[in-house]
Structures are given as C-alpha cells and as structure tokens.
C-alpha cells in the first residue's frame, strides 16, 4: 500500500494554514476539473487525487492522524482503522492509503456540489506606439465569442488588464472566469517611449545651428514650430513639456518630449562655399 503525500499533492507546506490549504485546493480543482478538460485522460485521476488530499487536510481530526502516522501509518493505525477496509468499494479510483485510513469516497457529496469559478483565459494584444497614444476600441475573438473592448490611452508595454466574466463558464452555478489581456507595445516609430516621456532626434542644418532660426518638427500630437538659438551645439537637448505620452487613465495629462539636435555637415560644396569656409577658418584663427 503506497503512502500518498497529500501536502505535495496540493503543493503546500506541512505547516500550511487551513486557508492556504483551501486556496490551493480550489485553484487545483479548477485546473483539473474533468468537465473543463473532457479530452484529458489524466484530468479525472488528478482531480480525484486533489479531492482526496483536501478531504484529509481540511479535516482537523483526519489531518492529525495523517501527520501522526505518516509513512508508517500501517503500523500505528491499521488495527484502529481495520473496520474501514470493508467500507472500501471494489474498483475505487482512490488510493488504498486514503480508504484504509479514513474510509469513504472523497469525490462524493461536497466536492460534486461545490461551485467552481470558470477557467481564466489569457491573451495578448500587440500595438504600435501610435495606437497606444489614443483611446480606441478593438474587437477580440475569444473562444468563439466576439468581445469589444476599450483600450485606454497610455497603456504600458507589458501591462495586463482583466475583463471580468469573459473567461470559461463556471461549474455547478459558479461564476465565469476572467479574461486577462497583456499588451505588447513596440517602439516602432521615430519616438522612443520611456515611461510617459518621449525622446526623438531632429536633424539640424549647419547654417541654422550657427545663425539660429525656426524649424518645424513632428510630434504624436502633430507638427510644432521650434525656435533654434544661434550657435546651437551638436547633441543639444530641449524639452517640450506636455508633448510626450498620455498618462494611463489620467485624461489630459501628458509626459514630456525631449528633442536632441544632430547637426548635419553640408556636402557637395561649391568652390565659392569652400572658399568662404576657408575665410571663416582664417578669421577664427586671427581672433584667437
């Protein structure tokens, strides 16, 4: 007669509290309930083992006997429980250890009547940065059902939201499970998102960098005009407040946009342009 480690079956420690045992049982019972897995041959067997373990560990008296005799239960409890051998029905799917120690069938009565929440569903939605910038709707096909959801602006990469009641159907009148959606957002534009701030590079011609001027750049909100200060250096950064990414569920609140200037050196210069640059170089040398 094989010893069955009920604590290992439920995945709990030997000092687990009744609440921890109850929670572990409910989680595993949902996972292996045969009605949820009609094509899984092992589901029924696993479900029976889980019920058996719960029947013992959730009962203080039975748990005490189980903890007391352990693997040597047959030496200490066989005589005391011998009358229960006759109560074990032929062909029982439950362990000899359970039947000999406690008698009865752990799958009868209470476990069949217990309400089980339906299975939780998981799915992923891929968005680009522009999609995540504005609140919009999408239609999902989950287990043959179309679900229309609203995706709030500012959703984070890797963020998971729960849609209550759109998972698997409950058992014995239990509630439906929930749908968990994880968002994968790619930095696939000219902007890099870090938190709610955006970062972008802007090319600046040499003449505007030296003399100053006005340029137009793109943001996720549209075009904006920027004044460039004279003698702007390569790699200079400016911050545009409120031109970044929207904060999740905080309407009208945005992060910042940081612009880094990259100065382009002119190419294919004419002889006259080259001569002018030489003159500028000479003037620079004289002023030193």
Nearest one of 199, 243, 237 to 220, comparing CA atoms: 243
**Backbone conformation region of residue 95, classed left if phi is above 0, alpha if psi is from -120 to 50, else beta:** beta
Averaged pLDDT score across all residues of the chain: 82
Name 169's Cβ contacts closer than 8 Å, sequence gap at least 6.
118, 176, 177
Helix axis angle, 41-57 to 18-32, nearest 10°: 170
> Mind listing the pLDDT tens digit for each residue in 88-129?
444 455 565 555 555 555 555 555 566 778 888 889 999 999
Token couple for 136? 């919009």
Residue matched to tokens 């011609």: 205
Residue matched to tokens 């505007």: 208
CA 242, distance to chain mean position in Å, is: 29
Over residues 53-75, mean pLDDT: 75
> Mind listing the pLDDT tens digit for each residue in 120-145?
888 999 999 999 999 999 998 887 88
Residue matched to tokens 């094509």: 39
Is the pLDDT reported for residue 242 higher than 90?
yes
> Mind listing the pLDDT tens digit for each residue in 265-281?
988 989 998 898 888 88
Token couple for 52? 């058996």
């Amino acid at each position: 007669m094989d010893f069955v480690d009920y604590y290992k079956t439920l995945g709990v420690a030997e000092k687990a509290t009744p609440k921890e045992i109850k929670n572990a049982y409910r989680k595993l019972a949902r996972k292996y309930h045969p009605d949820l897995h009609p094509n899984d041959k092992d589901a029924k067997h696993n479900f029976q083992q889980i019920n058996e373990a719960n029947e013992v560990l959730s009962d203080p008296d039975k748990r005490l006997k189980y903890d007391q005799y352990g693997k040597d239960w047959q030496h200490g409890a066989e005589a005391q429980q011998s009358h229960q051998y006759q109560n074990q029905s032929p062909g029982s799917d439950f362990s000899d250890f359970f039947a000999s120690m406690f008698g009865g069938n752990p799958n009868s009565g209470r476990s069949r009547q217990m309400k089980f929440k339906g299975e939780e569903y998981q799915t992923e939605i891929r968005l680009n940065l522009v999609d995540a910038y504005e609140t919009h709707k999408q239609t999902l096909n989950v287990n043959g059902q179309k679900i229309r959801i609203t995706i709030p602006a500012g959703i984070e990469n890797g963020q998971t939201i729960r849609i209550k009641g759109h998972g698997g159907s409950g058992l014995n009148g239990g509630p439906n499970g929930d749908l968990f959606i994880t968002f994968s957002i790619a930095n696939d534009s000219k902007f890099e998102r870090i938190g709610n701030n955006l970062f972008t590079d802007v090319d600046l011609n040499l003449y505007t960098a030296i003399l100053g001027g006005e340029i137009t750049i793109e943001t996720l909100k549209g075009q904006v005009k920027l004044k460039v200060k004279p003698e702007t250096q390569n790699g200079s950064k400016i911050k545009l407040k409120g031109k970044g990414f929207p904060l999740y569920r905080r309407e009208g609140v945005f992060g910042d946009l940081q612009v880094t200037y990259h100065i382009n050196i002119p190419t294919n210069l004419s002889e006259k342009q080259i001569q002018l640059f030489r003159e500028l170089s000479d003037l620079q040398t004289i002023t030193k």
